[in-house]
A and B are shown apart, each in its own frame.
Chain A
Amino acid sequence: MRTLTAKRVRAYVWLTLLCIFAVLPVAYVFLLALQTNAEAAALPPTLFPASPQFENFSVVAERMPLARYFYNSVVFSLSTTVAVILTSLFAGYATTKLRMPGRRFIISMFVGGILIPPAIRAIPLYTMIARLNLVDTWAGLSLPLMATGFGLFFMHQFLKTVPDSVVEAARIDGCSESRIVLQIVGPLVLPALVTLFIYNFLFRWNGYLWPLVVTRRTWTTLPVGISVFKTSEQLITWNLIAAAAVVTLIPVLGLFFAVGGRIVKGIAMQASK
Protein backbone atom coordinates (compact mmCIF):
# COMPACT_ATOMS: atom_id res chain seq x y z
CA MET A 1 0.00 0.00 0.00
CA ARG A 2 2.88 2.36 0.77
CA THR A 3 4.34 1.96 -2.70
CA LEU A 4 0.99 2.82 -4.25
CA THR A 5 0.85 6.05 -2.24
CA ALA A 6 4.36 6.96 -3.28
CA LYS A 7 3.48 6.28 -6.88
CA ARG A 8 0.37 8.35 -6.56
CA VAL A 9 2.37 11.25 -5.17
CA ARG A 10 4.77 10.97 -8.07
CA ALA A 11 1.84 10.99 -10.47
CA TYR A 12 0.51 14.17 -8.86
CA VAL A 13 3.89 15.85 -9.17
CA TRP A 14 4.22 14.99 -12.86
CA LEU A 15 0.67 15.94 -13.66
CA THR A 16 1.10 19.26 -11.90
CA LEU A 17 4.24 19.94 -13.92
CA LEU A 18 2.37 19.15 -17.12
CA CYS A 19 -0.39 21.53 -16.05
CA ILE A 20 2.10 24.33 -15.48
CA PHE A 21 3.63 23.65 -18.88
CA ALA A 22 0.20 23.84 -20.46
CA VAL A 23 -0.99 26.96 -18.72
CA LEU A 24 2.21 29.03 -18.73
CA PRO A 25 2.02 30.66 -22.19
CA VAL A 26 -1.68 31.38 -21.84
CA ALA A 27 -1.26 32.91 -18.42
CA TYR A 28 1.74 34.88 -19.65
CA VAL A 29 -0.16 36.51 -22.48
CA PHE A 30 -2.86 37.63 -20.04
CA LEU A 31 -0.25 39.08 -17.68
CA LEU A 32 1.52 40.85 -20.54
CA ALA A 33 -1.73 42.37 -21.72
CA LEU A 34 -2.13 44.12 -18.39
CA GLN A 35 1.39 45.54 -18.12
CA THR A 36 2.47 49.11 -18.71
CA ASN A 37 4.77 49.98 -21.61
CA ALA A 38 7.67 50.22 -19.19
CA GLU A 39 6.94 46.85 -17.60
CA ALA A 40 6.60 45.16 -20.98
CA ALA A 41 9.97 46.59 -22.01
CA ALA A 42 11.79 45.89 -18.75
CA LEU A 43 14.82 43.62 -18.48
CA PRO A 44 14.74 41.10 -16.92
CA PRO A 45 11.14 40.57 -18.02
CA THR A 46 8.40 41.26 -15.50
CA LEU A 47 5.64 38.76 -14.92
CA PHE A 48 3.11 40.50 -12.75
CA PRO A 49 1.87 44.00 -13.55
CA ALA A 50 2.03 46.36 -10.57
CA SER A 51 -1.40 47.68 -11.40
CA PRO A 52 -3.39 46.09 -14.24
CA GLN A 53 -3.61 48.38 -17.27
CA PHE A 54 -7.04 47.73 -18.73
CA GLU A 55 -6.69 50.74 -20.99
CA ASN A 56 -4.37 48.66 -23.18
CA PHE A 57 -7.53 47.20 -24.64
CA SER A 58 -8.94 50.60 -25.48
CA VAL A 59 -5.63 51.58 -27.08
CA VAL A 60 -5.91 48.54 -29.34
CA ALA A 61 -9.57 49.26 -30.01
CA GLU A 62 -8.69 52.82 -31.02
CA ARG A 63 -6.37 51.60 -33.73
CA MET A 64 -8.86 49.30 -35.40
CA PRO A 65 -12.58 48.50 -35.53
CA LEU A 66 -12.19 45.70 -33.04
CA ALA A 67 -15.92 45.39 -32.44
CA ARG A 68 -16.59 44.96 -36.14
CA TYR A 69 -13.90 42.25 -36.44
CA PHE A 70 -15.32 40.48 -33.43
CA TYR A 71 -18.81 40.54 -34.88
CA ASN A 72 -17.56 39.23 -38.22
CA SER A 73 -15.68 36.41 -36.57
CA VAL A 74 -18.72 35.40 -34.56
CA VAL A 75 -21.06 35.46 -37.54
CA PHE A 76 -18.62 33.59 -39.76
CA SER A 77 -17.74 30.94 -37.18
CA LEU A 78 -21.30 30.40 -35.98
CA SER A 79 -22.98 30.27 -39.35
CA THR A 80 -20.47 27.92 -40.95
CA THR A 81 -20.59 25.70 -37.89
CA VAL A 82 -24.36 25.45 -37.84
CA ALA A 83 -24.28 24.66 -41.54
CA VAL A 84 -21.61 22.01 -41.06
CA ILE A 85 -23.70 20.37 -38.37
CA LEU A 86 -26.76 20.20 -40.57
CA THR A 87 -24.97 19.03 -43.70
CA SER A 88 -22.92 16.47 -41.78
CA LEU A 89 -25.90 15.14 -39.85
CA PHE A 90 -27.95 14.57 -42.99
CA ALA A 91 -25.03 13.21 -45.00
CA GLY A 92 -23.92 10.98 -42.14
CA TYR A 93 -27.43 9.66 -41.72
CA ALA A 94 -27.57 8.89 -45.42
CA THR A 95 -24.26 7.02 -45.48
CA THR A 96 -25.06 4.97 -42.39
CA LYS A 97 -28.81 4.40 -42.45
CA LEU A 98 -29.96 4.75 -46.04
CA ARG A 99 -27.28 2.50 -47.56
CA MET A 100 -27.50 3.83 -51.08
CA PRO A 101 -25.07 2.43 -53.64
CA GLY A 102 -21.82 4.39 -53.97
CA ARG A 103 -21.76 5.46 -50.36
CA ARG A 104 -18.27 4.08 -49.84
CA PHE A 105 -17.07 6.29 -52.65
CA ILE A 106 -18.78 9.27 -51.08
CA ILE A 107 -17.17 8.60 -47.73
CA SER A 108 -13.71 8.25 -49.21
CA MET A 109 -14.21 11.47 -51.13
CA PHE A 110 -14.88 13.26 -47.88
CA VAL A 111 -11.99 11.61 -46.08
CA GLY A 112 -9.71 12.58 -48.95
CA GLY A 113 -10.96 16.12 -48.51
CA ILE A 114 -9.59 16.15 -44.98
CA LEU A 115 -6.10 15.59 -46.34
CA ILE A 116 -6.12 18.37 -48.94
CA PRO A 117 -4.04 21.21 -47.57
CA PRO A 118 -6.13 24.37 -47.34
CA ALA A 119 -3.32 26.65 -48.52
CA ILE A 120 -3.43 25.22 -52.00
CA ARG A 121 -7.15 25.52 -52.41
CA ALA A 122 -7.00 29.20 -51.58
CA ILE A 123 -6.00 30.50 -55.00
CA PRO A 124 -8.35 28.55 -57.30
CA LEU A 125 -11.12 28.89 -54.75
CA TYR A 126 -10.62 32.62 -54.58
CA THR A 127 -10.76 32.82 -58.37
CA MET A 128 -14.13 31.03 -58.28
CA ILE A 129 -15.51 33.26 -55.57
CA ALA A 130 -14.33 36.31 -57.48
CA ARG A 131 -16.10 35.13 -60.65
CA LEU A 132 -19.27 34.67 -58.61
CA ASN A 133 -18.81 38.24 -57.43
CA LEU A 134 -18.89 37.16 -53.82
CA VAL A 135 -15.60 38.64 -52.60
CA ASP A 136 -15.96 40.30 -49.22
CA THR A 137 -19.47 39.01 -48.65
CA TRP A 138 -20.75 36.70 -45.99
CA ALA A 139 -21.61 34.13 -48.64
CA GLY A 140 -18.18 34.22 -50.25
CA LEU A 141 -16.48 33.79 -46.94
CA SER A 142 -18.76 31.11 -45.56
CA LEU A 143 -20.17 29.04 -48.43
CA PRO A 144 -17.00 27.01 -49.11
CA LEU A 145 -16.87 25.98 -45.47
CA MET A 146 -20.47 24.86 -45.07
CA ALA A 147 -19.51 21.21 -45.25
CA THR A 148 -16.23 19.61 -44.33
CA GLY A 149 -14.69 16.23 -44.77
CA PHE A 150 -14.06 16.03 -41.07
CA GLY A 151 -17.70 16.79 -40.27
CA LEU A 152 -19.07 14.00 -42.40
CA PHE A 153 -16.46 11.53 -41.25
CA PHE A 154 -17.14 12.36 -37.63
CA MET A 155 -20.91 12.02 -37.94
CA HIS A 156 -20.60 8.90 -40.05
CA GLN A 157 -18.50 7.22 -37.37
CA PHE A 158 -20.90 8.28 -34.69
CA LEU A 159 -24.17 7.45 -36.40
CA LYS A 160 -22.89 3.94 -37.04
CA THR A 161 -23.43 3.30 -33.31
CA VAL A 162 -27.12 4.26 -33.44
CA PRO A 163 -29.08 0.99 -33.69
CA ASP A 164 -31.00 0.53 -36.93
CA SER A 165 -33.99 -0.56 -34.89
CA VAL A 166 -34.52 3.00 -33.70
CA VAL A 167 -34.79 4.20 -37.28
CA GLU A 168 -36.98 1.31 -38.37
CA ALA A 169 -39.38 1.81 -35.47
CA ALA A 170 -39.77 5.42 -36.46
CA ARG A 171 -40.41 4.47 -40.09
CA ILE A 172 -43.14 2.06 -39.01
CA ASP A 173 -44.71 4.93 -37.08
CA GLY A 174 -44.87 6.74 -40.40
CA CYS A 175 -42.15 9.31 -39.84
CA SER A 176 -40.61 10.86 -42.94
CA GLU A 177 -36.86 10.46 -43.27
CA SER A 178 -36.10 14.12 -42.60
CA ARG A 179 -38.29 14.03 -39.51
CA ILE A 180 -36.38 11.00 -38.30
CA VAL A 181 -33.12 12.90 -38.72
CA LEU A 182 -34.27 16.06 -37.04
CA GLN A 183 -36.54 14.73 -34.30
CA ILE A 184 -35.25 11.28 -33.45
CA VAL A 185 -31.65 10.69 -34.52
CA GLY A 186 -30.55 14.30 -34.01
CA PRO A 187 -31.50 14.51 -30.32
CA LEU A 188 -30.09 11.04 -29.81
CA VAL A 189 -26.65 12.11 -30.97
CA LEU A 190 -26.79 15.56 -29.44
CA PRO A 191 -23.49 15.08 -27.57
CA ALA A 192 -21.75 14.31 -30.85
CA LEU A 193 -23.31 17.35 -32.46
CA VAL A 194 -22.13 19.56 -29.64
CA THR A 195 -18.64 18.13 -29.99
CA LEU A 196 -18.63 18.74 -33.70
CA PHE A 197 -19.86 22.23 -33.02
CA ILE A 198 -16.97 22.93 -30.71
CA TYR A 199 -14.34 21.58 -33.08
CA ASN A 200 -15.66 23.36 -36.07
CA PHE A 201 -16.09 26.60 -34.19
CA LEU A 202 -12.46 26.41 -33.06
CA PHE A 203 -11.20 25.69 -36.59
CA ARG A 204 -13.12 28.62 -38.04
CA TRP A 205 -12.36 31.02 -35.24
CA ASN A 206 -8.65 30.30 -35.55
CA GLY A 207 -8.55 30.35 -39.37
CA TYR A 208 -6.36 32.90 -41.05
CA LEU A 209 -5.53 32.39 -44.71
CA TRP A 210 -9.00 32.09 -46.19
CA PRO A 211 -10.50 35.10 -44.38
CA LEU A 212 -7.41 37.11 -45.33
CA VAL A 213 -7.76 36.25 -48.98
CA VAL A 214 -11.48 36.58 -49.45
CA THR A 215 -12.39 39.56 -47.30
CA ARG A 216 -11.75 43.24 -47.73
CA ARG A 217 -12.83 45.77 -45.23
CA THR A 218 -16.38 44.70 -44.58
CA TRP A 219 -15.85 41.10 -43.51
CA THR A 220 -12.38 41.12 -41.99
CA THR A 221 -12.22 38.65 -39.13
CA LEU A 222 -10.48 39.10 -35.82
CA PRO A 223 -7.26 37.11 -36.46
CA VAL A 224 -6.74 38.92 -39.76
CA GLY A 225 -7.57 42.28 -38.28
CA ILE A 226 -5.20 42.05 -35.36
CA SER A 227 -2.32 40.65 -37.42
CA VAL A 228 -1.10 44.21 -37.76
CA PHE A 229 0.29 43.78 -34.30
CA LYS A 230 2.40 40.79 -35.20
CA THR A 231 5.10 41.70 -37.64
CA SER A 232 5.16 45.42 -37.90
CA GLU A 233 8.46 46.92 -38.93
CA GLN A 234 7.77 49.62 -36.40
CA LEU A 235 8.08 48.96 -32.72
CA ILE A 236 4.87 48.00 -30.99
CA THR A 237 5.21 47.23 -27.33
CA TRP A 238 4.35 43.72 -26.29
CA ASN A 239 1.60 44.68 -23.90
CA LEU A 240 -0.44 45.89 -26.87
CA ILE A 241 0.30 42.79 -28.94
CA ALA A 242 -0.84 40.72 -25.98
CA ALA A 243 -3.97 42.80 -25.49
CA ALA A 244 -4.98 42.20 -29.10
CA ALA A 245 -4.26 38.49 -28.62
CA VAL A 246 -6.39 38.34 -25.50
CA VAL A 247 -9.41 39.72 -27.34
CA THR A 248 -9.10 36.84 -29.79
CA LEU A 249 -8.54 34.28 -27.08
CA ILE A 250 -11.42 35.21 -24.81
CA PRO A 251 -14.20 33.55 -26.84
CA VAL A 252 -12.32 30.27 -27.26
CA LEU A 253 -11.40 30.25 -23.60
CA GLY A 254 -15.02 31.03 -22.76
CA LEU A 255 -16.08 28.08 -24.86
CA PHE A 256 -13.47 25.97 -23.13
CA PHE A 257 -14.55 26.87 -19.62
CA ALA A 258 -18.23 26.52 -20.46
CA VAL A 259 -17.98 23.11 -22.07
CA GLY A 260 -14.42 21.91 -21.50
CA GLY A 261 -15.71 18.63 -20.14
CA ARG A 262 -17.69 18.09 -23.31
CA ILE A 263 -14.65 18.64 -25.51
CA VAL A 264 -12.79 16.07 -23.50
CA LYS A 265 -15.65 13.60 -23.72
CA GLY A 266 -16.02 14.29 -27.40
CA ILE A 267 -12.51 13.16 -28.10
CA ALA A 268 -13.10 10.11 -25.98
CA MET A 269 -16.12 9.28 -28.12
CA GLN A 270 -14.05 9.50 -31.25
CA ALA A 271 -11.40 7.32 -29.71
CA SER A 272 -13.79 4.57 -28.74
CA LYS A 273 -14.89 4.05 -32.33
Chain B
Amino acid sequence: MKISYSDRLSATGYLFVLPAALVMILFTLYPFILALWNSLFTGFAQNLQYVGLQNYIRLFTSSRFWNSLFVTILFTAVSSGISGFLGFLAANWLVSRGVRFGQFFTAIIFLPYVVTPAIATLVWQYMFDRRFGILNAALNSVGLNGVAWLGSPVSAMLSLILVQVWFTVGYNLVIFSSGLQAIPKDYYESASIDGATESQQVRLITLPLIVPTVVLVLVLSLLSGFVNSFVIAQILTGGGPFRATEVLMLLIYKTAFEGFDIPRANALTLVMFLLLFSTSYMLQKWQDRVYHGLY
Protein backbone atom coordinates (compact mmCIF):
# COMPACT_ATOMS: atom_id res chain seq x y z
CA MET B 1 0.00 0.00 0.00
CA LYS B 2 1.26 3.40 -0.89
CA ILE B 3 1.14 6.18 1.68
CA SER B 4 -0.45 9.19 0.09
CA TYR B 5 1.15 12.61 0.06
CA SER B 6 -1.55 14.15 2.23
CA ASP B 7 -1.16 11.35 4.78
CA ARG B 8 2.51 12.15 4.97
CA LEU B 9 1.70 15.81 5.48
CA SER B 10 -0.72 14.90 8.23
CA ALA B 11 1.89 12.76 9.93
CA THR B 12 4.32 15.67 9.80
CA GLY B 13 1.55 17.86 11.22
CA TYR B 14 1.08 15.62 14.22
CA LEU B 15 4.82 15.53 14.70
CA PHE B 16 5.00 19.32 14.66
CA VAL B 17 2.15 19.68 17.11
CA LEU B 18 3.55 17.01 19.39
CA PRO B 19 5.96 19.07 21.55
CA ALA B 20 3.40 21.76 22.26
CA ALA B 21 0.61 19.24 22.74
CA LEU B 22 2.68 17.13 25.11
CA VAL B 23 3.44 20.11 27.32
CA MET B 24 -0.20 21.21 27.25
CA ILE B 25 -1.63 17.79 27.99
CA LEU B 26 0.89 16.87 30.66
CA PHE B 27 1.20 20.17 32.43
CA THR B 28 -2.09 21.95 31.86
CA LEU B 29 -4.93 19.60 30.98
CA TYR B 30 -3.91 16.66 33.13
CA PRO B 31 -3.48 18.76 36.31
CA PHE B 32 -6.77 20.45 35.49
CA ILE B 33 -8.55 17.11 35.25
CA LEU B 34 -6.90 15.98 38.49
CA ALA B 35 -8.15 19.18 40.10
CA LEU B 36 -11.69 18.50 38.88
CA TRP B 37 -11.57 14.93 40.13
CA ASN B 38 -10.27 16.22 43.45
CA SER B 39 -13.28 18.54 43.72
CA LEU B 40 -15.45 15.49 44.40
CA PHE B 41 -13.61 14.77 47.64
CA THR B 42 -13.11 16.36 51.00
CA GLY B 43 -10.06 16.36 53.23
CA PHE B 44 -6.40 16.88 52.68
CA ALA B 45 -3.52 15.18 50.87
CA GLN B 46 -3.70 11.45 51.70
CA ASN B 47 -6.83 11.60 53.85
CA LEU B 48 -9.41 12.16 51.13
CA GLN B 49 -13.05 11.09 51.34
CA TYR B 50 -15.37 10.89 48.39
CA VAL B 51 -18.37 13.20 48.81
CA GLY B 52 -19.77 13.47 45.30
CA LEU B 53 -21.13 16.87 44.43
CA GLN B 54 -21.28 18.09 48.01
CA ASN B 55 -18.59 20.72 47.46
CA TYR B 56 -20.66 22.18 44.66
CA ILE B 57 -23.84 22.14 46.68
CA ARG B 58 -22.11 23.86 49.57
CA LEU B 59 -20.77 26.38 47.12
CA PHE B 60 -24.10 27.30 45.63
CA THR B 61 -25.68 27.66 49.03
CA SER B 62 -22.91 29.88 50.35
CA SER B 63 -23.59 33.60 50.37
CA ARG B 64 -19.86 34.22 50.27
CA PHE B 65 -19.66 32.59 46.86
CA TRP B 66 -22.56 34.59 45.42
CA ASN B 67 -21.06 37.76 46.81
CA SER B 68 -17.75 36.94 45.13
CA LEU B 69 -19.47 36.21 41.87
CA PHE B 70 -21.29 39.52 42.00
CA VAL B 71 -18.14 41.42 42.95
CA THR B 72 -16.19 39.78 40.13
CA ILE B 73 -18.82 40.60 37.54
CA LEU B 74 -19.12 44.15 38.79
CA PHE B 75 -15.38 44.68 38.76
CA THR B 76 -14.91 43.15 35.33
CA ALA B 77 -17.89 44.84 33.71
CA VAL B 78 -17.26 48.33 35.03
CA SER B 79 -13.51 48.30 34.52
CA SER B 80 -13.82 46.89 30.99
CA GLY B 81 -16.48 49.45 30.23
CA ILE B 82 -14.51 52.44 31.42
CA SER B 83 -11.22 51.24 30.05
CA GLY B 84 -12.75 50.34 26.70
CA PHE B 85 -14.57 53.66 26.44
CA LEU B 86 -11.47 55.69 27.31
CA GLY B 87 -9.37 53.61 24.96
CA PHE B 88 -11.84 54.17 22.17
CA LEU B 89 -12.04 57.93 22.78
CA ALA B 90 -8.27 58.29 22.83
CA ALA B 91 -7.89 56.15 19.72
CA ASN B 92 -10.52 58.20 17.98
CA TRP B 93 -8.67 61.41 18.80
CA LEU B 94 -5.40 59.94 17.64
CA VAL B 95 -6.73 58.60 14.38
CA SER B 96 -9.41 61.04 13.28
CA ARG B 97 -8.01 64.34 14.49
CA GLY B 98 -4.59 63.86 13.04
CA VAL B 99 -2.82 64.32 16.34
CA ARG B 100 0.93 64.48 16.01
CA PHE B 101 3.30 62.35 18.08
CA GLY B 102 0.62 59.66 18.02
CA GLN B 103 3.25 56.94 18.45
CA PHE B 104 4.68 58.74 21.46
CA PHE B 105 1.31 59.15 23.17
CA THR B 106 0.37 55.56 22.46
CA ALA B 107 3.61 54.22 23.84
CA ILE B 108 3.38 56.23 27.06
CA ILE B 109 -0.24 55.36 27.73
CA PHE B 110 0.62 51.73 27.03
CA LEU B 111 3.48 51.68 29.56
CA PRO B 112 1.49 50.31 32.56
CA TYR B 113 0.76 47.13 30.65
CA VAL B 114 4.39 46.00 30.86
CA VAL B 115 4.88 46.81 34.54
CA THR B 116 4.90 43.87 36.95
CA PRO B 117 1.33 43.86 38.35
CA ALA B 118 2.31 42.93 41.90
CA ILE B 119 4.71 45.84 42.09
CA ALA B 120 2.50 48.38 40.40
CA THR B 121 -0.39 47.46 42.68
CA LEU B 122 1.79 47.77 45.73
CA VAL B 123 2.75 51.27 44.65
CA TRP B 124 -0.90 52.11 44.08
CA GLN B 125 -1.75 50.85 47.53
CA TYR B 126 0.84 53.18 48.96
CA MET B 127 -0.49 56.06 46.87
CA PHE B 128 -4.02 55.37 48.12
CA ASP B 129 -2.93 55.32 51.76
CA ARG B 130 -5.11 57.62 53.75
CA ARG B 131 -2.31 59.21 55.70
CA PHE B 132 0.92 58.65 53.82
CA GLY B 133 -0.36 58.48 50.25
CA ILE B 134 0.38 61.11 47.64
CA LEU B 135 -3.20 61.14 46.38
CA ASN B 136 -4.52 62.52 49.64
CA ALA B 137 -1.50 64.80 49.93
CA ALA B 138 -2.46 66.23 46.55
CA LEU B 139 -6.06 66.69 47.68
CA ASN B 140 -4.88 68.37 50.88
CA SER B 141 -2.60 70.74 49.01
CA VAL B 142 -5.57 72.12 47.08
CA GLY B 143 -7.57 72.48 50.26
CA LEU B 144 -9.70 69.34 50.04
CA ASN B 145 -10.05 66.68 52.69
CA GLY B 146 -8.35 63.36 52.20
CA VAL B 147 -10.45 60.36 51.23
CA ALA B 148 -10.39 56.86 52.73
CA TRP B 149 -9.82 55.38 49.29
CA LEU B 150 -9.88 51.79 50.42
CA GLY B 151 -11.86 52.21 53.62
CA SER B 152 -15.44 51.87 52.42
CA PRO B 153 -16.98 49.20 50.19
CA VAL B 154 -17.86 51.56 47.35
CA SER B 155 -14.67 53.57 47.27
CA ALA B 156 -12.56 50.42 47.63
CA MET B 157 -14.26 48.92 44.58
CA LEU B 158 -13.79 52.16 42.65
CA SER B 159 -10.11 52.20 43.59
CA LEU B 160 -9.70 48.65 42.33
CA ILE B 161 -11.38 49.61 39.10
CA LEU B 162 -9.14 52.64 38.75
CA VAL B 163 -6.05 50.47 38.97
CA GLN B 164 -7.41 47.98 36.44
CA VAL B 165 -8.25 50.84 34.06
CA TRP B 166 -4.71 52.10 34.54
CA PHE B 167 -3.37 48.70 33.51
CA THR B 168 -5.53 48.19 30.45
CA VAL B 169 -6.42 51.54 28.90
CA GLY B 170 -3.26 51.72 26.80
CA TYR B 171 -3.76 48.22 25.55
CA ASN B 172 -7.32 49.00 24.52
CA LEU B 173 -6.15 52.21 22.89
CA VAL B 174 -3.76 50.26 20.69
CA ILE B 175 -6.37 47.72 19.66
CA PHE B 176 -8.90 50.41 18.85
CA SER B 177 -6.38 52.45 16.88
CA SER B 178 -5.70 49.56 14.60
CA GLY B 179 -9.41 48.86 14.27
CA LEU B 180 -10.05 52.49 13.37
CA GLN B 181 -7.19 52.71 10.93
CA ALA B 182 -8.66 49.82 9.01
CA ILE B 183 -11.80 51.83 8.16
CA PRO B 184 -11.36 53.43 4.74
CA LYS B 185 -11.05 57.24 4.94
CA ASP B 186 -13.45 57.88 2.04
CA TYR B 187 -16.41 56.64 4.11
CA TYR B 188 -15.95 59.67 6.34
CA GLU B 189 -15.27 62.01 3.45
CA SER B 190 -18.50 61.16 1.68
CA ALA B 191 -20.38 61.33 4.97
CA SER B 192 -19.14 64.82 5.72
CA ILE B 193 -20.00 65.90 2.19
CA ASP B 194 -23.52 64.68 2.99
CA GLY B 195 -23.41 66.93 6.04
CA ALA B 196 -23.03 64.36 8.84
CA THR B 197 -21.66 65.76 12.09
CA GLU B 198 -18.74 64.14 13.83
CA SER B 199 -20.87 62.39 16.42
CA GLN B 200 -23.14 61.08 13.67
CA GLN B 201 -20.10 59.77 11.85
CA VAL B 202 -18.93 57.96 14.94
CA ARG B 203 -22.36 56.48 15.55
CA LEU B 204 -23.20 55.51 12.00
CA ILE B 205 -19.85 54.59 10.49
CA THR B 206 -17.27 53.93 13.14
CA LEU B 207 -19.19 51.93 15.72
CA PRO B 208 -20.79 49.38 13.39
CA LEU B 209 -17.49 48.77 11.64
CA ILE B 210 -15.46 48.15 14.74
CA VAL B 211 -17.74 45.51 16.28
CA PRO B 212 -15.05 42.82 15.98
CA THR B 213 -12.59 45.13 17.68
CA VAL B 214 -15.07 45.79 20.45
CA VAL B 215 -15.57 42.07 20.96
CA LEU B 216 -11.84 41.50 21.01
CA VAL B 217 -11.45 44.24 23.58
CA LEU B 218 -14.23 42.75 25.67
CA VAL B 219 -12.85 39.23 25.60
CA LEU B 220 -9.36 40.41 26.46
CA SER B 221 -10.70 42.68 29.20
CA LEU B 222 -12.63 39.79 30.60
CA LEU B 223 -9.50 37.65 30.78
CA SER B 224 -7.25 40.34 32.15
CA GLY B 225 -9.99 41.39 34.54
CA PHE B 226 -10.10 37.89 35.99
CA VAL B 227 -6.35 37.50 36.14
CA ASN B 228 -5.50 40.97 37.42
CA SER B 229 -8.39 41.07 39.85
CA PHE B 230 -6.56 38.61 42.08
CA VAL B 231 -3.37 40.62 42.39
CA ILE B 232 -5.18 43.92 42.68
CA ALA B 233 -7.69 42.80 45.30
CA GLN B 234 -5.14 40.80 47.26
CA ILE B 235 -2.72 43.68 47.60
CA LEU B 236 -5.05 46.68 47.74
CA THR B 237 -7.76 45.43 50.07
CA GLY B 238 -7.33 41.73 50.85
CA GLY B 239 -10.96 41.41 49.73
CA GLY B 240 -12.32 43.87 52.27
CA PRO B 241 -13.90 45.88 53.63
CA PHE B 242 -16.83 43.54 54.29
CA ARG B 243 -15.87 41.26 51.36
CA ALA B 244 -16.80 44.10 49.05
CA THR B 245 -13.79 43.38 46.87
CA GLU B 246 -13.44 39.65 47.39
CA VAL B 247 -13.24 38.59 43.75
CA LEU B 248 -13.53 34.92 42.78
CA MET B 249 -9.82 34.43 42.13
CA LEU B 250 -9.09 35.72 45.61
CA LEU B 251 -11.75 33.50 47.15
CA ILE B 252 -10.20 30.49 45.40
CA TYR B 253 -6.78 31.40 46.68
CA LYS B 254 -8.02 31.94 50.24
CA THR B 255 -10.00 28.71 50.20
CA ALA B 256 -6.99 26.70 49.08
CA PHE B 257 -4.07 28.32 50.80
CA GLU B 258 -5.54 29.88 53.91
CA GLY B 259 -8.37 27.45 54.56
CA PHE B 260 -6.46 24.37 53.34
CA ASP B 261 -9.66 23.27 51.59
CA ILE B 262 -8.24 22.32 48.21
CA PRO B 263 -11.23 20.30 46.95
CA ARG B 264 -13.53 23.23 47.51
CA ALA B 265 -11.13 25.58 45.79
CA ASN B 266 -11.11 23.21 42.84
CA ALA B 267 -14.89 23.23 42.69
CA LEU B 268 -14.82 27.01 42.66
CA THR B 269 -12.31 26.95 39.86
CA LEU B 270 -14.50 24.81 37.66
CA VAL B 271 -17.39 27.21 38.17
CA MET B 272 -15.16 30.11 37.24
CA PHE B 273 -13.80 28.32 34.21
CA LEU B 274 -17.31 27.64 32.93
CA LEU B 275 -18.23 31.26 33.51
CA LEU B 276 -15.24 32.55 31.55
CA PHE B 277 -15.71 30.04 28.81
CA SER B 278 -19.40 30.71 28.30
CA THR B 279 -18.98 34.47 28.38
CA SER B 280 -16.25 34.53 25.77
CA TYR B 281 -18.23 32.08 23.67
CA MET B 282 -21.34 34.24 23.84
CA LEU B 283 -19.39 37.35 22.92
CA GLN B 284 -17.98 35.54 19.92
CA LYS B 285 -21.50 34.48 18.83
CA TRP B 286 -22.77 38.01 19.30
CA GLN B 287 -20.01 39.31 17.08
CA ASP B 288 -20.83 36.78 14.36
CA ARG B 289 -24.47 37.79 14.40
CA VAL B 290 -24.04 41.54 14.51
CA TYR B 291 -21.08 41.76 12.23
CA HIS B 292 -22.25 39.41 9.53
CA GLY B 293 -25.71 40.89 9.73
CA LEU B 294 -24.27 44.11 8.35
CA TYR B 295 -23.32 42.70 5.01
Q: Which residues of A are in contact with B by a Cβ distance under 8 Å?
A: 4, 7-8, 11-12, 14-15, 18-19, 21-23, 25-26, 28-29, 43-45, 47, 86-88, 90-91, 93-95, 98-101, 103, 106, 109-110, 112-117, 119-121, 123-125, 128, 143-147, 149, 151-152, 177-178, 181, 202, 205-206, 208, 223, 227, 230, 238, 241-242, 245, 248-249, 252-253, 255-256, 260-261, 263-264, 267-272
Contacts and interface: CB of A to CB of B under 8 A. Distances in A.
A249 B123 CA distance: 12
Contact of A261 (B12, B27, B103, B182): B103
Given A115-B273, A223-B118, A272-B178, A120 B35 contact: yes
Most-contacted residue by chain B among A19, A115, A238 (CB, 10 A): A115
Interface of B: 6, 9-17, 19-32, 34-35, 38, 86, 89-90, 93-94, 97-99, 103, 105-120, 122-124, 126-127, 131-134, 137, 140-141, 166, 169-171, 174-175, 177-179, 181-182, 213, 216, 223, 226-227, 230, 249, 252-253, 256, 262, 265-266, 269, 272-273, 276-277, 280
A18 B16 CA distance: 45
Given A113-B24, A119-B230, A177-B16, A260 B107 contact: yes
A248 B16 contact: no
Contacts of B276: 115
Contact of A121 (B20, B35, B227): B35
Contact of A268 (B126, B132, B177, B265): B177
A228 to B, nearest CB: 13
16 contacts: A11-B97, A14-B89, A15-B93, A15-B94, A26-B112, A91-B20, A100-B10, A120-B32, A125-B31, A144-B26, A147-B22, A227-B118, A245-B119, A248-B119, A260-B107, A271-B178
Nearest to A267: B174
Contacts of B171: 267
Contacts of A19: 105, 108-109
Nearest to A95: B17
Contacts of A7: 97
A120 B127 contact: no
Contact of A117 (B15, B174, B273): B273
Q: A-side binding surface: helix, strand, loop or mixed?
A: helix
A28 B122 contact: no
Contacts of B127: 25, 28
Most-contacted residue by chain A among B20, B94, B131 (CB, 10 A): B20
A87 B31 contact: no
A95 B230 CA distance: 34
Contacts of A88: 20
B116 A249 contact: yes
Contact of A25 (B9, B108, B120, B131): B120
Contact of B16 (A26, A29, A94, A223): A94
A115 B27 CA distance: 14
Nearest to A42: B132
B175 A252 contact: no
A147 B19 contact: yes
Given A7-B97, A15-B93, 20 more contacts: A12-B99, A18-B105, A22-B109, A22-B110, A29-B119, A87-B20, A87-B23, A94-B17, A115-B276, A117-B226, A120-B32, A121-B27, A143-B23, A208-B118, A230-B122, A249-B119, A261-B107, A268-B178, A269-B178, A270-B175
